[in-house]
Amino acid sequence: MPDVGIQGGRRGITAAAVPALVDKAREGDPRSVGRLVSLVEDESPLLPELTRILAPHAGNARIIGLTGSPGVGKSTSTNALIGELRKRGQRVAVLAVDPSSPFSGGALLGDRIRMGDHVLDPGVFIRSMAARGHLGGLAWTTPQALRVLDAAGFDVVLVETVGVGQSEVEVAGQADTTIVLLAPGMGDGIQAAKAGILEIGDLYVVNKADREGADKVRRDLRSMLGLAERRDGAWKPPVLKTTASTGEGVEEVVDAIEQHGAWLRESGELHKRRVRRARGEIETLALTALRRRWGLVGEGDRLDELARAVVAGETDPYAAADRLL
């Protein structure tokens, strides 16, 4: 039970121990990396200090988002992508985020088994994270966990999410390059349109290409993407095909990731995206600090008092919000 060890480790961490832990993580010690991610997942009070120490070392990793409905083959694809990236000499970290689960222990073990090819490879780090916390969910924790993996020196960080709702779209927004995975026979066209997935993909991959209907999914997707207006010089998301279980097509996906990376740098879009993300993170941290402050100010709960006054008809919500500020 690896989680027991991690739990014990979490409790033992003090502010004074953080710099040494960061040093060890940067030297490639997977256990230290795991403990730092646990600090994020647990919403530790040490996070401001940790962030201050990590920030100068971050900004070098390529963040790749991988999203898709359940059953399209995300884990198999992640496994195959790791293999191809390793062939090219890249150190790879995987952060699998599960917005619907309050627990990560089980998923962690599950992922380790599914991504079994790479468990013993010191150039690969795999970690699941769940929406355990109360501060702001995965939109709050994901950027901080990515900073840990980035600062730890991984060349590529893959963020894997289940692409079915708003929070997944937000998580995908943390990536430099977002890959949307689809598969035949899942009504994906409709799902894609519903979840706003047509707006978030930099790369579309139709997995399970050996199954009937793969070409139709690809055609439909291309025509839907073709309808979207794009500016001159804008990136045109390619639609690729893979059979992740055999590795077929995976090389082309990694090539496309690299092409997109080059475009991001040359177009100035990489900097724009990173500023946008930093903006979102600062805003989330500031709002979280405020919510905490409003929940417990002075001797009473100020917000609760105002809410009671609204229900009693003594004030209205806008006036109450004004007084809160």
Binding-site ranges for its own copies (CB under 8 A): 47-48, 51-52, 54-56, 59, 100, 143, 164-167, 194, 271, 274-276, 278-279, 281-283, 285-287, 289-291, 294, 303-304, 306-308, 310-311, 313, 315-322, 324-325
CB of 317 to its own copies, least distance (A): 5
Q: Are 147 and 139 in contact (CB under 8 A)?
A: no
Tell me which H or E stretch contains 64.
strand 62-68
Tell me which H or E stretch contains 199.
helix 197-200
C-beta atoms surrounding 160 within 10 Å = 27
Tell me which H or E stretch contains 124.
strand 124-130
Q: How far apart are the first and last CA of the chain?
A: 48
CB of 102 to its own copies, least distance (A): 10
- Quick one: 20 or 289, whose CB is closer to its own copies? 289
How far is residue 144's CA from residue 174's CA, in Å, rounded to a whole number? 10
- Quick one: 37 or 82, whose CB is closer to its own copies? 37
Strands 156-162 and 177-182, how do they pair?
A: unpaired
CB of 134 to its own copies, least distance (A): 14
How far is residue 9's CA from residue 6's CA, in Å, rounded to a whole number? 5
Q: What DSSP assignment string belongs to 136-189?
A: SHHHHHHHHHHHHHHHTT-SEEEEEEE-SSHHHHHHHTT-SEEEEEE-TTS-HH
CB of 313 to its own copies, least distance (A): 6
CB of 250 to its own copies, least distance (A): 30
Give how far Cα 66 sits from Cα of 95, 168, 226, 238, 253, Å: 10, 10, 22, 15, 12
- Quick one: 230 or 276, whose CB is closer to its own copies? 276
- Quick one: 53 or 225, whose CB is closer to its own copies? 53
- Quick one: 140 or 204, whose CB is closer to its own copies? 140
How far is residue 22's CA from residue 120's CA, in Å, rounded to a whole number? 22
CB of 192 to its own copies, least distance (A): 12
CB of 14 to its own copies, least distance (A): 18
The SS3 call for residue 97 is strand
CB of 275 to its own copies, least distance (A): 5
Q: Where are the alpha helices (DSSP H) in 57-165?
A: 74-87, 105-114, 137-151
CB of 106 to its own copies, least distance (A): 15
- Quick one: 165 or 213, whose CB is closer to its own copies? 165
Q: At what angle do helices 47-54 and 18-26 cross, to 10 degrees?
A: 40
Give the dihedral sign, CA 188/256/201/146: positive
